[in-house]
Structure 1
């Protein structure tokens, strides 16, 4: 890990660690002083009182130093001040050890590599941990012949290892959390982009399509108003129908924004309402099919009806829906003039993309003068997330 770790440590990990150790040492040292024990054995009352006062004052300074640092640098201490504060803490730790009769003050030195890990990185913390071990060995020259002192030294080393492990775990947790937040932001951006694309397709396929038809029919009515009043009247009626379909699309979009579940049958009934040349046939229950598949069926019906009336000159259009446990199928058939397969435009290509996105297939049967039949089939397993 590099020594510059400001980007990794955006917040102080485990801020309770140092105050907890200070409290434990304060209780143990205070008890030892009140019981008349000093670093080198029994003490007179005056000596015990003096050591207790110095001990408590030093511990208060440690608490105050931590409080000052956390208030001055609430997220991370810069490298320069961190060096100064670390040296001050080391001096205070030595002063506490000199006045502590319990022997527990050695645990404070565990905080040296622990805090250094977050300020300077792993290598600096490891070096300071080795220095603390060397200091502990130097201050206990009889540790090897004395099993009790050797055990204390061994526990101190274990404490240093655990402190480094805890610091490393905190660093890794923060790094993973930062990556997760970045991933969430990226997912949010991609979701927003996908939603914008979906809305754009809906506007093009639905509202834009019908408004274009309204404009074309009104222009036709204007052009034929004097020469062919009947043709002008039919054009106005077609424009009215396209406007109704545009309104139906807007209502469908509003229902989606209100988080209401999409229902295919009401949507299709709104689409063909008051249009005598369109017949809707329905068989089955839509409750067992996914909303995405049902929405695609609606869009296919919408595009098929619009193409049949605008381009094929159809006088009769049949929309047939069959929903069973295996699949969802919709057919749009008209009696118009048909078209050549090579004449597929943007609308049909967009329709194929929609159907393919939900794992379905689109079939087009059309020939000159024989009408057109669009059939879209979506297998049921798509709702359960199985591959098509």
Structure 2
């Protein structure tokens, strides 16, 4: 689990506008009570009332600046204790008893700092605290409808505050999980794109550069024996290099724009001609490729390209046959050569050292992405047969 995913399960901040809204409502109610004669109107008490509310607002602002993320447990305890003291001061100097609404902020803030259990416990304390305070100051309060209504409204306010905190916390957790999921998707997409680019580089550049290398070796061998054949081999090597350069340019264009989908039949025909006569390649294609998706056609082409590259590079084959049958439900590609063969599973005959098997690995990955299957039949001295089966799927 990543750090971002671990943070996704936690809660960061309370709803920023809720506490200031309660402060503003209590301030307006308290000033109105003084103006309407519902509460004592003397300058010291009014100044204390306004100052305590201002300190609460400043305390919230300082917490947001000091702790942009989740407030640490120790700091949260100190801040909640300070708020309780200021709530008590406001209630003491208010006189109208309207500032009791401030206590709905106690479980609301506790929900984000300490969790649901602590918030519920503090709510119960607040609900029980008001009757205790009334019993100490006004005996018989429970027979006064106004006092009973005050207790009931405080309980309702606390319940609403808890509900709002639960909804806000759930939304924050959902947003954090969504951000973590989006980051994970981005990582997976980048990894998939790196894999695709690695396969394309190996399949396209590797094929043409292998052809160029074979022709250069041939030219070196025939330089003294048959200068004309050596010149032809050099020409084919230059052609393979130009094709490799063209593939690079096409890949760059494909990264900038949506690439055109070539005909698979034409591409396989060009693949046979690119061999330059060594080995001799024959192709046979049956069926309608228009019913297949571009990804499936690309997988088939790259598989044929990989089979031909391996026959040329490793098997010392003289002939290679490429047969493709595009059926109603699936396409079947068979690439067979008469080379020296190998033992399947021992690097699959592709590459040396650390890079051993990269070509066939990339081909298997590409075919697997279109729900296809790769089978290789070979043994030393008996050639190699590569069979790739790809389902038609939904087509284009």
State the TM-score, normalizing by the size of structure 1: 0.75
Q: CA deviation at 1:321?
A: 6.6
Secondary structure of the residue aligned to 2:390 is strand
Q: CA deviation at 1:67?
A: 2.6
Judged with a 3 Å threshold, the aligned counterparts in structure 2 of structure 1 residues 129 and 171 are, in CA distance, closer, same or farther, namely: same
Secondary structure of the residue aligned to 1:378 is strand
Judged with a 3 Å threshold, the aligned counterparts in structure 2 of structure 1 residues 193 and 65 are, in CA distance, closer, same or farther, namely: closer
Please give the alpha-carbon distance, in whole angstroms, between the structure 2 residues aligned to 1:134 and 1:37. Answer: 26
Secondary structure of the residue aligned to 2:196 is helix
Aligned to 1:70: 64
Q: CA deviation at 1:14?
A: 0.3
Judged with a 3 Å threshold, the aligned counterparts in structure 2 of structure 1 residues 356 and 59 are, in CA distance, closer, same or farther, namely: closer
Instruction: Tell whether the 8 Å contact from 2:111 to 2:165 is kept in structure 1 after alignment.
Output: yes
Judged with a 3 Å threshold, the aligned counterparts in structure 2 of structure 1 residues 80 and 214 are, in CA distance, closer, same or farther, namely: same
Aligned to 1:303: 306
Instruction: Tell whether the 8 Å contact from 2:107 to 2:161 is kept in structure 1 after alignment.
Output: yes
Please give the alpha-carbon distance, in whole angstroms, between the structure 2 residues aligned to 1:341 and 1:67. Answer: 73
Aligned to 1:345: 349
Instruction: Tell whether the 8 Å contact from 1:338 to 1:366 is kept in structure 2 after alignment.
Output: no
Aligned to 2:252: 254
Greater alpha carbon shift after TM alignment, 338-347 vs 235-244:
338-347
Aligned to 1:95: 89
- Relative contact order, higher structure (CA 8 A, sep 6+): 2
Instruction: Tell whether the 8 Å contact from 1:293 to 1:358 is kept in structure 2 after alignment.
Output: yes
Aligned to 2:199: 201
Please give the alpha-carbon distance, in whole angstroms, between the structure 1 residues aligned to 2:66 and 2:188. Answer: 39
Residue-pair matches, total: 368
Instruction: Tell whether the 8 Å contact from 2:322 to 2:334 is kept in structure 1 after alignment.
Output: yes
Question: Does 1:313 pair with 2:311?
Answer: no
Please give the alpha-carbon distance, in whole angstroms, between the structure 2 residues aligned to 1:374 and 1:73. Answer: 62
Secondary structure of the residue aligned to 1:381 is coil
Instruction: Tell whether the 8 Å contact from 2:343 to 2:378 is kept in structure 1 after alignment.
Output: no
Q: CA deviation at 1:298?
A: 1.9
Matches within 5 A, 1:23-42: 23-38=24-39
Instruction: Tell whether the 8 Å contact from 2:210 to 2:309 is kept in structure 1 after alignment.
Output: no
Q: CA deviation at 1:322?
A: 6.8
Please give the alpha-carbon distance, in whole angstroms, between the structure 2 residues aligned to 1:221 and 1:127. Answer: 88
Please give the alpha-carbon distance, in whole angstroms, between the structure 2 residues aligned to 1:51 and 1:227. Answer: 114
Q: CA deviation at 1:299?
A: 0.8
Please give the alpha-carbon distance, in whole angstroms, between the structure 2 residues aligned to 1:9 and 1:358. Answer: 39
Q: Give CA deviations for 1:27-86 in whole Å, capped at 9, x if unaligned.
A: 222211111012xxxx5xxx4666544433332332233233333333344444433433
State the TM-score, normalizing by the size of structure 2: 0.74
Which blocks of at least 5 consecutive residues in structure 1 are unaligned?
1-5
Secondary structure of the residue aligned to 2:258 is coil
Q: CA deviation at 1:171?
A: 3.5
